[in-house]
Chain A
Amino acid sequence: MNLHRRMLLRARGGRILMVFFCAGLIGSAAVPAPATDALDQLMTRLRQHQHGHVSFTEVHISNILDRPLTSSGELFYDAPDRLEKRTTRPKPERMVLENGQLSFERRHKEYRVALADFPQAAPYIEGIRATLAGDRPALERAFRLSFSNSGDQWTLSLIPLDAHVAAEVAAVRIDGLSDVIKTVTVQRVNGDRSITTLGAVLDP
């Protein structure tokens, strides 16, 4: 019986989680490379990072709740497609994306779901992964991109192209400094919003 899986996956809010979950890339050795424009240059620099390990704080603002929810923990990334989110507060929880599959625990039970079972979210997840991996062609297949920068600071906005995804997620905004992602903001169509702030670089 795996009834829960598709149900969980179909959950629209899931996509937000995916973004938070996937949003942690921190680099140590950025290698400058020739680029045609600023975004390509950023992508090239992001691509250099094989591993990332940072702390995060996430603020979840829901219009159904009277006040925001806050959680924190650590994020791990291994190029090109392994992502792990370890929440330590308010409750310890763990979620991993690897080999096209998400796994997470709830009430001492492990759940494993295929990314492909989440058709609206698959391109979306792919977008985050692609940002981390510096894979611009993959990003452009799923999103309308807009990029702006001023000095070392930059902002990458992703607007979903897929109608199913667009019906749920208005936009994903990634703010960074140099080759480091600082915050990931997900704005949902229903008004909910989550802001993940990436913090200190931790030991690999």
Chain B
Amino acid sequence: MSRRAASILVWIALLAAAGWIVAHAHYTADLSAFLPARPSPAQRALVEELREGVASRLILIDIAGGEGAQRAQLSQDLATRLRANPAFMSVNNGRNVASEIDRRFIFTHRYLLSEQVTADHFTIAGLRSAIAESIDSLASPAGFLARDLLPTDPTGETLQVLGQLSPDTGPRSEYGVWVSANGSEALLVAQTRAAGGDTNGQEQAVGVIEAEFGRLRASIMPAATGIGLRVSGPGVFAVRARATIIREAIRLSVLSSLLIATLLMLVYRSVRTLALGLLPVVSGALAGAAAVALGFGVIHGVTLGFGVTLIGESVDYSIYLLIQARRGLEGNAAAAWISSFWPTVRLGLLTSLCGFASLLPSAFPGLAQLGLYSMAGLLAAAAVTRYVLPALLPEQWAARPLDSLGRGITRRIDRLQSYRQLLWLLPPLAVAVVYAHRGELWNRDLAALSPVSVADQQFDARLRSNLGAPDVSDLIVISAADPDAALHAAETVGARLSGLVQAGELAGFETPARYLPSLALQRQRRDALPTGDVLRTRLRAALAGLPLQATRLEPFIAAIEQARTDPLLDRSALAGTSLASGVDALLAQRGDRVVALVPLRAPATGSHPFAIDAAHVNAALGAALPGVSIAVLDLKHESDALYAAYQSAAIRLSLLGLGVIVTLLLLTLRSIARVVRVIAPLILAVFVVSAALIASRQALTILHLIGLLLIVAVGSNYALFFDRRIAPADAGERTTMLASLFVANLATVLGFGVLAFSTVPVLSALGMTVAPGAFAALLFSALMARPVAPHGVLS
């Protein structure tokens, strides 16, 4: 077998393997790409919350249009259907969800569940005051239940438990269901069984909601028009983001492929050459995706979107070959190109690889994926250009001369070169712009990386504020060895927080112990119950002067006797009640620990409205509990801190990447002066692009920063060709070189430029940075290159 056939066979085999891997890869698009791979304990809690916490499982539902009563009906029917669906742990629409089972359960276990149950409550004075209150309430608005309960529950424990379980605050409601502030929308909150990070599970849940709503709307009111449903929430965002990113990745790839193909068609004027020129691109894209799938197990949608940029850059190699290759003395154009140009292309490839390699150690999995994808992709594209394309080119093939294009570019460059002294003005100008905007350079919000559109984020924020802000941003995370220890710790935490609630530092808090008291507390309550005889004696004294005869309360005495021997409640005793979902939302097994969550609610008024002072909360929590870890987690603060850490890491990595590129150039070019001449235009391009971005009020994100690194990594490919030892001395060759660089640069600019129009912030940040940067890199390299001797002198 000839070498030619061998290289083609190897290529096809590798391509098939890569294709198989990519076809079987897992894809995701949630925020996980932006979460640390090796988190600190606080970050771990943050990540767990974002991936599988209560907040991550919430789907907010909004029903708009039609009339209030219709919306309320739909809200109620939808809630009923969703509650029956195993995809949801709970659904709340403001309407009571207590079933007959709940009512019976609360009534039966009222003495274990009621916070009022203490020994004092059953003294003569305690009984008297509780019973007097129940009698008073018979005639009050809330007293209608008291009448029937009076003989068995004269101290009002059932109503007490119902009160404990009802939310302190809630959204506005009409017709018994939650509505938006202006009453024009019905609101529901569903909690999915699938974790927020489980995008497939979330997608299913969203699908169920939409399907059930569609069926209800059709069945209840066939003529109902204008009633619609919208959903929001972290899981919904993840589902939507995945769809958006994948759609955009496809759309942008197609668009940029078309643009680049059109450009190359104009240049090559040959379908076959065009097809050959695109082979390295396809190979690179497949190799990149396969490498990420192998290296990370899962491909993030953003990485795929990034693949678009690779089309623009990886096509460069074949452009050089297909434009620069002239038939040399040996007769084969490709072979001649390999011997004269390949070393320069290879060096450019190496500098690009160094740039991307600096992303690999990033703790930010999204960046590491970008790095690996690009490295594998570029390597594959260059290898295919070097080893496969020459084998596929016909023996007698030679590049179509682009002399007129080359001459046009040369003339313009030469003309511009006479103004090159003006370039010295750019660095101070750029520095001045950066200095003027120094306070607003960086976007410090992790949400800036979120693929969720601003409109969606605003809709979500509005729903949350209408729903009374169940946006969990501050919470206490309790980790203990078993559920009861966690519940006990949650009770201790609750007791310590109550002072803050009274002081107005907190509006309130939620705790799993609300639904299931710890065994110790239940035992304490059970032990507080007097014997029947003692109770009977005390009741006689307690009822003196009250309009109620002790003989009427025999059922009460029997109930207390029964409660004294009732078994204590655990999670399994709650089965079938809605208290169970209350516990499950806040108490979960995570690995070998049990985690209890105590979400805090910020006060709406006071010295710091809508904010919680974590230091105060920490101080209130006081001494540690043995065997239990308790941490106050400010999700917003943690995620901002996380983002700040990424940012400084990205700056460090970018500088490291620059350092590695410079070192590589020093080792290859063996001259500081030559390296400076190659690097200077690139640095200038970085300065100008950052100044332009900042001047146009783009708050810079990590992705802009990575884009700046890419300007150096990509731009070095062009800059190298202007090195005095590499640049051809011959005017004709220089013309061809300029033409090829121009075409290659245009392809890169198109690839990244298309990205700039993406609605995914991560992708558009990269596009708007690299596209102008790549062009500036080429332009500055050309202008700053040593001027060639005037025409005619050499000949």
A residues with a Cβ closer than 8 A to B are 1-17, 21, 58, 60, 62, 64-67, 69-71, 85, 87, 90-91, 93-95, 99-101, 104-107, 109, 111-117, 192, 194
Contact of A69 among B138, B142, B177 (CB under 8 A): B138
Kindly name the residue among B94, B146, B150 whose own CB sees the greatest number of chain A CB atoms within 10 A: B94
Is the CB of B106 closer than 8 A to any CB of chain A?
yes
Nearest chain A CB to B102 CB, angstrom units: 5
Which residue in A7, A66, A93 is a CB contact (below 8 Å) of B162? A7
Q: Which of B132-181 contact A (CB under 8 A)?
A: 135-148, 150-151, 158-159, 162-163, 165-168, 170, 173-177
B53 → A minimal CB distance (Å): 19
Which chain B residues (97-155) contact chain A, with CB distance < 8 Å? 97-99, 102-103, 106, 135-148, 150-151
CA distance A100 to B173 in the complex (A): 10
12 A-B pairs within 8 Å (CB atoms) are namely A2-B97, A3-B102, A3-B165, A5-B96, A13-B148, A14-B144, A14-B145, A65-B547, A66-B547, A69-B136, A112-B170, A117-B176
Task: Give the chain A neighbours of B552 by CB distance below 8 A.
Answer: 64
B582 interface hit (Cβ, 8 Å) = yes
The residue of chain B having its C-beta at the shortest distance from the C-beta of A115 within the complex is: B176
**Does A114 lie within 8 Å of B141, measured CB to CB?**
no
Given contacts A9-B96, A106-B163, contact A101 B173 (CB under 8 A): yes
Within 8 A of A (CB), among B541-580: 547-549, 552, 578-579
**Contact among B139, B141, B174 for A100, CB-based, below 8 A:** B174
* B binding-site residues for A, Cβ under 8 Å: 68-69, 72, 76, 92, 94-99, 102-103, 106, 135-148, 150-151, 158-159, 162-163, 165-168, 170, 173-177, 183, 514-515, 547-549, 552, 578-579, 582
Known contacts A6-B103, A101-B175, A114-B177, A95 near B96 by CB under 8 Å: no
Given contacts A2-B96, A6-B98, A116-B175, contact A85 B147 (CB under 8 A): no
Contacts known (A2-B97, A114-B175); A71 close to B139, Cβ less than 8 A: yes
Nearest-neighbour CB distance to chain A for B118, whole angstroms, equals 17
Q: Which 4 A-B pairs have the closest CB atoms?
A: A114-B176, A5-B96, A4-B162, A14-B144
CB within 8 Å: A-B pair count: 172
Known contacts A1-B97, A3-B102, A90-B136, then 6 further A-B pairs from the complex at CB < 8 Å, ordered by chain A residue: A3-B103, A21-B141, A64-B548, A93-B142, A101-B174, A111-B142
The smallest C-beta distance from B162 to any residue of chain A, in angstroms, reads 3
Report the bound CA distance from A176 to B360 in whole Å: 86
A93 to B98, CA, bound (A): 25
Determine if A99 and B141 form an interchain contact, defined as CB atoms under 8 angstroms apart.
Answer: no
- Smallest CB–CB gap between B82 and chain A, Å? 16
Nearest chain B residue, comparing its CB with the CB of A68: B547
A93 vs B552: C-alpha distance in the bound complex, in angstroms?
A: 28
Q: Is the CB of A17 within 8 A of B144?
A: yes
Query: How far apart are the CA atoms of A115 and B68 in the complex, in Å?
Result: 14
Question: Contact between B147 and A64 (Cβ–Cβ < 8 Å)?
Answer: yes
Nearest Cβ in chain B — how far from A81, in angstroms? 11
User: Nearest Cβ in chain A — how far from B550, in angstroms?
Assistant: 11
Contact (A2, B139) CB under 8 Å given A8-B144, A100-B69, A100-B174: no
Residue of B nearest to A7 (CB): B103
Contacts of B177 in A (CB 8 A): 114
CB distance from B154 to the nearest CB of A (A): 10
B97 nearest in chain A by CB position: A2
Are B166 and A116 in touch, CB under 8 angstroms? no
Nearest-neighbour CB distance to chain A for B598, whole angstroms, equals 16
Smallest beta-carbon distance B234→chain A, Å? 22
How far is it, in angstroms, between the C-alpha of A188 and the C-alpha of B147 when the chains are bound?
A: 12
Interchain CB contact (< 8 A) of B142 among A8, A65, A67: A8
Contact A60 B98 (CB under 8 A): no
Quick check: A8 and B145 within 8 Å, CB to CB? Answer: yes
A111 CB, min distance to chain B CBs, angstroms: 7
Specify the chain A residue showing the minimal Cβ separation from B103. Answer: A7
Roughly how many angstroms separate A111 CA and B579 CA in the complex, as a whole number? 19
Decide: A113 and B176 in contact? CB cutoff 8 A: yes
Interface class of chain A by DSSP: mixed
Which chain B positions have C-beta within 8 A of A7?
96, 98, 102-103, 106, 145, 158, 162
A176 nearest CB across to chain B (Å): 23
Are A114 and B72 also in contact (CB < 8 A) when A21-B141, A69-B138, A100-B174 are?
A: yes
* Given A100-B176, A101-B174, CB of A4 within 8 Å of CB of B96: yes
CA distance A96 to B147 in the complex (A): 21
User: With the chains together, A62 CA to B135 CA distance in Å?
Assistant: 10
A12-B148, A113-B176 in contact; A4/B138 too (CB < 8 A)? no
- Residue of B with least CB distance to A5: B96
With a cutoff of 8 Å between Cβ atoms, the chain A residues found around residue B99 in the complex are: 6
Chain B residues in 8 Å Cβ range of A70: 139
Chain A residues near B138: list those with CB within 8 A: 13, 60, 62, 65, 69
Asked whether A85 lies within 8 Å of B141 as measured between CB atoms, the reply is yes
The answer to whether A6 touches B163, judged by C-beta atoms less than 8 angstroms apart, is no
A11: shortest Cβ distance to chain B, in Å? 4
CA distance A70 to B135 in the complex (A): 11
The answer on a CB contact under 8 Å between A112 and B144 is no
Q: Is there an interface contact between A109 and B98, defined as CB atoms closer than 8 Å?
A: no
Give the CA-CA distance A111 to B176 in the complex, in Å.
10
B72 in contact with A100 (CB, 8 Å): yes
A91 to B139, CA, bound (A): 10
Q: How many Å lie between the Cα of A198 and that of B501 in the bound state? A: 42
Whether B142 pairs with A114 at a CB distance below 8 angstroms is no
Q: Which of B136, B144, B166 is in CB contact (< 8 Å) with A91?
A: B136
Flag if B97 contacts A94 (CB, 8 Å): no
In the assembly, what is the distance between CA of A51 and CA of B223, in Å? 36
CB neighbours (8 Å) of B137 from chain A are: 106
Which residues on the A side are within 8 Å of B95 (C-beta)? 2, 5, 114, 117
* A11-B148, A65-B548, A91-B136 as given contacts; A3 in contact with B141, CB under 8 Å: no
> How many Å from the CB of B492 to the closest CB on chain A?
22
- A101 partner, pick from B97, B176, B549, B579, beta carbons under 8 A: B176
Select which of A3, A58, A106 is within 8 A of B139 by beta carbon. Answer: A58
The residue in chain B whose Cβ has the minimal distance to the Cβ of A101 is B176
Are A2 and B173 neighbours in the complex by a CB distance under 8 Å? Answer: no
What is the bound-complex CA distance between A107 and B168, given in angstroms?
Answer: 11
Given contacts A3-B103, A109-B166, whether A87 and B140 have CB atoms under 8 Å apart is yes
Q: Which residues of A contact B173 (CB under 8 A)?
A: 101, 112
A184 to chain B, nearest CB (A): 14
Is A105 touching B135 in the complex (CB atoms < 8 A)? no
Q: Are A64 and B144 in contact (CB under 8 A)?
A: no
Contact A17 B96 (CB under 8 A): no
**Minimal Cβ-Cβ distance residue in B for A9:** B96
Whether B141 lies near A192 (C-beta < 8 A) is no
* Residues on the A chain within 8 Å of B159, using CB: 4, 106
Cβ-neighbour of A60 out of B102, B139, B163 (below 8 A): B139
Q: How far is the CB of B170 from chain A (nearest CB, A)?
A: 7
Give A100 to B582 CA distance when docked, in angstroms.
28
B92 touches A2 (CB 8 A): yes
Quick one: closest B residue to A85, CB to CB?
A: B141
Bound Cα distance A93, B106 (Å): 25
Which residues of A lie under 8 Å from residue B142 when comparing CB positions?
8, 93, 104-106, 111
Question: Which has the most chain A C-beta neighbours within 10 Å: B158, B165, B173, B579?
Answer: B173
Residues of the B chain whose Cβ atoms lie less than 8 Å from the Cβ of A100 = 68-69, 72, 174-176
Q: Given A6-B96, A60-B139, A117-B176, are A109 and B163 neighbors across the interface (CB < 8 Å)? A: yes
Q: Which residue of chain A has the shortest Cβ distance to B552 in the bound complex?
A: A64
A116/B141 in contact, CB under 8 A? no
Assembly CA distance A146 to B69 (angstroms): 32
